[in-house]
Every structure is written in C-alpha cells, then in structure tokens.
Amino acid sequence: MHRPALPLGSAGSITHGESMTATKLIPSLGVSDIQRSIGFYRTFFGFKPADSYEQDGQLTWCWLRSRGADLMLQQLSSDQQITLNPAIGQSWVIYIQPDNLVATHRALKQAGLPVTDIRTTAYGTDEFLVTDPDGYELWVSVPAGESNGDDEDEDEDEDRDEDDEDDEDEEEEEEWKVTGR
C-alpha cells in the first residue's frame, strides 16, 4: 500500500518547534537456526543475550548486546525460506566495529569462515567482509589506523586485565544455557 507523505503542518505531521528524533536503530535478522546465530555473534563479536522470547518451549527471538551495539535475531519457521535477494545487491549492509579488527579477522579466518583481506578504503576505514551463517554480509570496519594490528603487547595486557571479566561472562553464559536468559 502506498501512503503519500503528509504535508507539513497537517494532522499527524511535525509542526514548527516540534522535533522527533530516533534514539536507536536496531537491525533484526531472520535466521534459520537462532542458536547457531547467537553462537556466531557471541564468539566473534562479543554479543550476549539481553532478552529473549520462547514459543512452545523453543527460542524464537533474541536481543543481543555488545557494549553499545544491539542486534535482534528472529527464528524463521521452516516454511519461511531465507532468500537473500541478489537484485537488492549492496543497497543495505551491516557494519560492525570491533575493538580489535586484526584479532577479529584472525579468529574468523581460523574458524574457516570466508573473509576478505583487510583493506584500507578511500573513505578512511580499515575493513573486511565476512558472511554470517545465514548469508548476511557483514562489513567489519574501524577508522583507518585503529585496527590494533601493531598493538599485540597491549592486547595481551588487556587480555590479562579482562580475565576477571571473562570469569563473570562464563557465569552469565552458564545462566543463559540453564534459563534461556
């Protein structure tokens, strides 16, 4: 159904002095295996379940969070085929900014996932492309020069400092497995 734009000042439109501003935009992806997708985004990008919904004892929706990033996953039923439309092409992409581009690239590559080489773009980013388990293309990107490839020693120090946080994360993961939250 086509809905024409409302003329400025008409009922239902923004009038002078009013402001309507989005405060957040959260992608929601339809997936064929929600547990597999949760594992992918948790393992490689640090996302953790923040909320979920079950139907008939099966997880059907999950809201994932990693620091300031949010992502929702929706389990598609068996009759809902995931067909990414090649005609759409590059009209939409998902960008993910990790805290360490080089380490993320290495982990994805070691897991046998198809990743492109890291490249520096004309628009000032270091980035690579990877495809998630359902075929969604993810551009993993950081501002040029911030890929952390030369900071191996600093990363090791940070890893040691984060050991306590990792223990807490493992406890949260165990809770997730038991309760679904």
The per-residue pLDDT for range 23-82, each reduced to its tens digit, is 889 999 999 999 999 999 999 999 999 999 999 999 999 999 999 899 999 998 876 666
Q: Give a yes or no: residue 121 inside a domain.
A: no
Q: Give a yes or no: residue 91 inside a domain.
A: no
Query: How does DSSP assign 88-111, residue by residue?
Result: TGGG--EEE--S-HHHHHHHHHHT
Q: Give a yes or no: residue 175 inside a domain.
A: no
Domain span at residue 59 reads 25-79
The per-residue pLDDT for range 73-117, each reduced to its tens digit, is 999 887 666 665 555 555 678 999 999 999 999 999 999 999 999
Q: What pTM did the predictor assign? A: 0.70
Residues 60 and 74: beta-carbon distance below 8 Å: yes
Q: Give a yes or no: residue 140 inside a domain.
A: no
Q: Give a yes or no: residue 13 inside a domain.
A: no
Q: Give a yes or no: residue 171 inside a domain.
A: no
CATH code at position 48: 3.10.180.10
The per-residue pLDDT for range 135-154, each reduced to its tens digit, is 889 999 999 998 887 544 34
Q: Give a yes or no: residue 149 inside a domain.
A: no
What total number of domains does the chain contain?
Answer: 1
